[in-house]
Amino acid sequence: MTAVGAEAGPRPVPGVDLAGSVPVFGSRPGSQLVDGESFADFSRKRLIFGAFTRLGETHVYRVDCKAGDRLRAQMFAPVLPRGGSVVPTFAIVARSLPYSADTEKLPLELPHGYSAIVAPPPSELLQPVKDVLTRVHYYPGPLIDSRTLVGGRCYLVVWTPHNRMGKYVVSIGHRWHLRWSYWAQLPLYWWRIRGWFGLSRAAALYVLAGALLVVLAGAALLRRGAGRRRAQSDDAGRAF
């Protein structure tokens, strides 16, 4: 497995880091650069859960970038219990990238002044990695890690050269989401990712049931303690 960096030529892919990523479901990526799905930035870590449901589909995501912004994207093949995953080709398209490669493989026309870095699917899938939070597995795919030289619109283009259908996951960004809202939604992320993979979510129900039992037991103890204090108070009043 190789990566494409700011300089031409393959290099080993570093350790996979999915932590701190916000999952993105149900996006409606366009098929052309002009109607791509929009994201706020390319720096915050996101996991895009996508799927090709028709032959010949092209998915386009777009971001407004500033000069010097880091453009990092890595493709993953989800390990689904019933199969149905795909490892598509993807590319980063922007103005004046440090270098351009394999632009003739793009499924759409490259605008004047734009360049592209294309990452084809790997010839083989290596050892899958496991996400610690959700316990799901992914096969890591190619990685593009580059920077913009000038500001402007940047694009992530995803397609399957052999017109295959199936689910894919692409990671973009490099900065963790540190707001409290991210941490507060971790149970929801767990639930939705497990459901997208088609895996059991019974563990969450067990945890909720256990938490409910703890709350009910605590409430019963509080009521019992309050009842004892009232009884002791009544006894003391009668003694006087």
For residues 168 and 205, membership in a common domain is answered with no
Question: Is-contact 23 162, C-beta < 8 A?
Answer: no
For residues 106 and 206, membership in a common domain is answered with no
For residues 31 and 131, membership in a common domain is answered with yes
pLDDT score of 229:
61
pTM: 0.78
For residues 59 and 160, membership in a common domain is answered with yes
pLDDT score of 180:
85
For residues 192 and 207, membership in a common domain is answered with no
Type of residue at 66: K
pLDDT score of 203:
57
Q: Among residues 165, 182, 197, which one ends one of the domains?
A: 197
**The total number of structural domains that make up the chain:** 2
Pairing assessment for the beta strands 70-78 and 166-172 based on DSSP bridges? antiparallel
Q: Torsion-angle region of residue 20: left (phi > 0), alpha (psi -120 to 50) or beta?
A: left
For residues 128 and 46, membership in a common domain is answered with yes
pLDDT score of 85:
92
Q: At 105, list the tokens.
A: 């493989």
Q: What is the extent of the structural domain holding 189? A: 2-197
For residues 131 and 235, membership in a common domain is answered with no
Burial category of 233 from C-beta neighbours within 10 Å (exposed 0-12, middle 13-18, buried 19 and up): exposed
pLDDT score of 58:
94
For residues 121 and 106, membership in a common domain is answered with yes
pLDDT score of 9:
41
Which residues in the chain land under pLDDT 50? 1-2, 6-14, 206-212
